[in-house]
């Protein structure tokens, strides 16, 4: 037997009640559940849809559909990082690499003009903070539209990077301007080195994060056209 549209909607609601509110996750689970429910109801016509669903859910073991959800979300995260490395490669191999390199050159020149060897680090920190604010303002308004899709929620890791970046910038500013004697300790040297590496990563990333977010949103738009906004 084939499930009707109303039965499909009922299955989606049952999946949601099990703790899977994201629309694309529901359909990912539905792909694995619908066929089994159809078979059960065909073998036993007296079996109700909710009962068939409960039997299928029990067949997935103690963790239910969580493994399907986890597998789907891991795929999304892997795809997201693929977008990041692809965007990074494209930038480094194109003329656009001139922008971060040119900006770094200007920051280094500011140290010479201000006669402060540490001024360039502060300039980068200020640039990153303003860039983070711009990214949040630009994309936060779209959150309401896409928040029901795991494919978009996964891109929130970009905003976690921003939170991490703000912490790194604050710590970087603190350690750069501490007394020189405090900076001579081995721990301080290692810590400052780590901060500088993190700042470098963030500085490069800020030029490609919008592209990564745009691709993630485009993927979600495709899913919305298929599944609807819910």
Summarize pLDDT for 183-224 with one digit per residue, the tens. Answer: 556 666 676 677 777 777 778 888 888 888 888 888 888 888
Residue-level pLDDT at 180: 46
Nearest to 151 by CA among 218, 70, 76: 76
Specify the pTM: 0.75
Helix (H) or strand (E) holding 61: none
Residue-level pLDDT at 181: 44
Residue-level pLDDT at 86: 92
* Crossing angle for the helix pair 119-140 and 98-114, to the nearest 10 degrees: 140
Give me 40's structure tokens.
Answer: 């059960």
Q: What is the dihedral sign for C-alpha 109, 113, 114, 118?
A: positive
Burial of 106 (0-12, 13-18, 19+ CB in 10 A): exposed
Ranges of residues in the chain whose predicted pLDDT is under 70: 1, 116-118, 158-166, 168-189, 191-192, 229-230
Give the integer Cα–Cα distance in Å for 226 and 230.
11
Residue-level pLDDT at 145: 77
Burial of 159 (0-12, 13-18, 19+ CB in 10 A): middle
Residue-level pLDDT at 182: 46
- In 3-state terms, what secondary structure has residue 206? coil
Give me 93's structure tokens.
Answer: 């191999």
Residue-level pLDDT at 123: 79
């Amino acid at each position: 037997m084939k499930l009707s549209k109303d039965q499909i909607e009922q299955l989606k609601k049952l999946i949601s009640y099990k703790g899977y509110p994201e629309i694309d996750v529901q359909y990912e689970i539905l792909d694995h559940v619908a066929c089994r429910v159809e078979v059960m109801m065909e073998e036993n016509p007296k079996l109700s849809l909710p009962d068939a669903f409960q039997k299928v859910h029990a067949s997935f073991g103690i963790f239910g559909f969580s493994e399907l959800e986890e597998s789907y979300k891991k795929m999304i995260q892997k795809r997201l990082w693929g977008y990041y490395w692809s965007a990074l490669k494209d930038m480094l191999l194109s003329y656009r690499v001139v922008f971060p390199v040119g900006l770094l050159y200007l920051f280094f020149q500011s140290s010479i003009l201000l006669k402060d060897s540490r001024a360039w680090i502060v300039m980068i920190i200020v640039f990153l903070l303003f860039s983070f604010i711009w990214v949040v303002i630009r994309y936060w308004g779209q959150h309401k539209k896409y928040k029901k899709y795991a494919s978009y929620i996964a891109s929130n890791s970009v905003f976690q990077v921003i939170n991490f970046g703000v912490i790194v910038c604050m710590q970087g500013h603190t350690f750069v301007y501490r007394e020189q004697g405090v900076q001579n300790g081995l721990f301080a040297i290692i810590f400052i080195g780590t901060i500088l590496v993190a700042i470098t990563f963030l500085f490069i990333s800020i030029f490609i994060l919008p592209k990564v977010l745009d691709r993630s949103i485009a993927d979600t738009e495709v899913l919305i056209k298929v599944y609807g906004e819910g």
